[in-house]
Structure 1
């Protein structure tokens, strides 16, 4: 006693599908076509999506090179100079935001 239906060729399955669809109304045929189209689009997107924006962005790391004979005073002087540059950039950025706030009438 077979449990599964007998296997048929793809050509026979296609003919069977066409015969079933011919007996349906026009609306049923359009709905079936749209459902197949939407399913195909979703599967297509699932195949395309993993290939988009998967690589991490390139990061460039700049490394300064100093001599091994630097004294602690030179290191501290460089740190103070770098901190002053960071503070100036932060102050300039803060002034830019303050201009934007003044333009839009935002108060502190």
Structure 2
């Protein structure tokens, strides 16, 4: 009993191209147009996906301002600055909490 090969025998690219050309030439013009349109739409969709993946993916640049301090600062100066900065942070947090509370009151959300 002779087994059939799973894959067709290997041919050169020229032979494959001639085979494809013969297959297409036996088809009508409508089939060629349908193949061209389907390949075109598929290529268009793939190009759109690849281009979309590259647009707006990088985070925007951030500017960081660094405060320059003198080298001869004392520990009391540092602690005073830290207390001042902490008060500013607490004021911002309190203002933000008040904004959320106003929104909650407008929406009728109870705490």
Normalization by structure 1: what TM-score?
A: 0.71
- Identify if the C-alpha distance between structure 1 residues 18 and 54 changes in structure 2 by more than 3 Å, giving closer, same or farther: farther
CA RMSD of aligned residues (A): 2.9
Does structure 1 residue 4 correspond to structure 2 residue 4? no
Q: CA deviation at 1:23?
A: 7.5
- Identify if the C-alpha distance between structure 1 residues 72 and 18 changes in structure 2 by more than 3 Å, giving closer, same or farther: same
Structure 2: tracts of 5 or more residues without a match: 1-8
Counterpart selection for 2:52 from 34, 39, 49: 49
Does structure 1 residue 83 correspond to structure 2 residue 105? no
Equivalent residue pairs, number: 99
Where does 1:67-78 land on structure 2 (aligned, <5 Å)? 67-78=70-81
Normalization by structure 2: what TM-score?
A: 0.69
Stretches (4+) displaced over 4 A? none
Does structure 1 residue 99 correspond to structure 2 residue 102? yes
Structure 1: tracts of 5 or more residues without a match: none
Q: CA deviation at 1:54?
A: 3.6
